[in-house]
Chain A
């Protein structure tokens, strides 16, 4: 007896039907463009020159590798940014997470947490714009505030090469410390109450409790949080464009900022494609690490 839905009851057809829309989206908007990108990275192609693409082999890659002030300084700047951002945010997030741990019954907890989590859902471009307003040397609130504490000279935070990088980093920390707080709270929430009570009965010191119980249960969520931050801060762009757009000089030129400039302001498509391919390799490496940690966690949960 053939039922009307018998076609859908065939497993392979069903798998195909379910996956088809996502695959279609990806082939059109991702696979084809990525292949295009790979191909283009071997061409010399600028949109401004009006010349057709010219095959140049590995020249783009060679240029990127051997250019002084090129990818190496961008990458080192980016990795310092990532390292500082992730460690500062993790430390602060841990502190705040532990601070908020016992606040289940706090009056207005939901509003307080909303205020705390606000920075991470704000439009990065808007955030960057209004921090520029706050950092402004003449009418900015921060300089006025420092004036109250005895600073005499106003500081041009975003225009001064010594401060710009750290000023941007500070805003990133302001935005993403709440995220690490969220992750810390989640990690602490995954610690079973019973084990803590048992530890209390066994008279373990708080340090032993922390090391033996809290760390044991919470470490994976915390690690996931740090990995997510690592990957996200590697991509930082939206925040920087309105604040400094890579300047002053190249002080805040992270990889994403440089690629954005070369591709969409100078329209060096061939060179940018090669640069993007290199970033793609880095991203794939980071994704692998992420999935590896995730699998470790899964395996542990199962056993």
Chain B
């Protein structure tokens, strides 16, 4: 009996910690169901009649919003699909053939992700401005793909190193081409790595602001861009808009970490640590 009680107390404690970390997010989600007066009330109101007006207004009154949301979805998906595919080939090459300079290339790849954002984007900005690529979807998507490659290569190489070379040899000995070996034999075995790379980079591009701001523009703007430049402020910040917007925008990443919790660790450490929590 006392053991059961202790267990109950322990679980309650864990749940409280989790809820404590979630409180600020819960607060913003709660605020999105308030009217403007309730949001700006002092002291803040805890009891109120929830209203969906903010969401209705967001979808109907604001043309930009749908465009920005569409940009976010299309750009992050296409960039990450390209990046993961290309990275898989390179990671396979690094893992199996270890060409000269593999370590150096892996190092260079990683160091790009270690550099503060403005330092990465500064020369790219000059290049984009000179070539007239600014504010266009395809160059921006390709840049995002480039930026998603390093971690994808690292994650996938980690997983590919775990697949025995025997599989390749068997496939080749049985008359399969390299194409067959790579896509039919090896690819299915690193599915967890592909998912980890995909999810991790998807969350990254989804959340990315600076690059979109600097080398994108009005046509390509996503939601973080809109938030940062204060698109939704007309004399002071429009908190009802922001609360509703944020609540919608953070849903996909949160859903991803619920659905793909198994892959979270591999993604967050780009494959240097594998396993589940």
Contact = CB atoms under 8 A, between A and B. Distances in A.
A115 B246 contact: no
Nearest to B143: A29
A182 B89 contact: no
Contacts of B224: 123-126, 238
Given A224-B269, A264-B214, A113 B117 contact: no
Interface residues of B, number: 90
A63 to B, nearest CB: 17
A235 B146 CA distance: 19
Given A141-B27, A174-B24, A273 B122 contact: yes
B177 interface: yes
B53 to A, nearest CB: 18
A33 B122 CA distance: 8
8 contacts: A22-B90, A29-B146, A115-B19, A121-B253, A131-B24, A133-B31, A269-B126, A283-B119
Interface stretch (B54-62, B63-71, B190-198, B201-209): B201-209
Contacts of B269: 183, 186, 224-225, 228
B163 interface: no
B186 interface: no
A183 B145 CA distance: 27
Interface in A75-130: 96, 99-100, 102-103, 106-108, 110-126, 129-130
B21 A174 contact: yes
Contacts of B27: 130, 134, 141
Contact of B40 (A106, A139, A286): A139
Interface in A280-303: 280, 283-284, 286-288, 290-291, 294
A147 B43 CA distance: 9
Contacts of B109: 26
Contacts of A120: 268
Given A117-B257, A119-B25, 12 more contacts: A22-B86, A112-B18, A115-B18, A118-B257, A122-B25, A124-B209, A131-B24, A133-B243, A183-B273, A189-B276, A235-B114, A272-B118
A235 B116 contact: yes
Contact of A107 (B11, B86, B117, B256): B11
Interface stretch (A6-14, A159-167, A199-207): A6-14
Interface in B6-61: 10-11, 13-15, 17-19, 21-22, 24-25, 27-28, 31, 39-44
Contacts of A114: 254, 257-258, 261
Contact of B14 (A106, A117, A283): A106
Interface stretch (A34-42, A54-62, A65-73, A208-216): A34-42
A5 interface: yes
| Secondary structure call for the A interface | helix
The bracket for how many chain A residues form the interface is: 35 or more
Interface in B168-203: 177-179, 203
Contacts of A288: 107
Contacts of B40: 138-139
B69 to A, nearest CB: 13
Given A116-B21, A125-B227, A291 B207 contact: no
Nearest to A106: B11
B207 A185 contact: no
A263 interface: yes
Contacts of B203: 121
Interface string B111-154: 11011111100111111000000000000001101100100010
A140 B11 CA distance: 31
B73 interface: no
B275 A291 contact: no
A105 B112 CA distance: 41
A235 B117 contact: yes
A177 B44 CA distance: 27
Given A126-B250, A129-B242, A186-B275, A18 B123 contact: no
A241 interface: yes
B44 A237 contact: no
Contact of A186 (B11, B39, B258, B273): B273
A242 B122 contact: no
A221 interface: yes
A9 B274 CA distance: 32
Contacts of A29: 124, 142-143, 146
B151 to A, nearest CB: 11
B277 interface: yes
A149 interface: no
Given A15-B97, A174-B21, A256-B117, A238 B142 contact: no
A168 interface: no
B131 to A, nearest CB: 10
Which of B92, B179, B273 gathers most chain A CB within 10 Å? B273
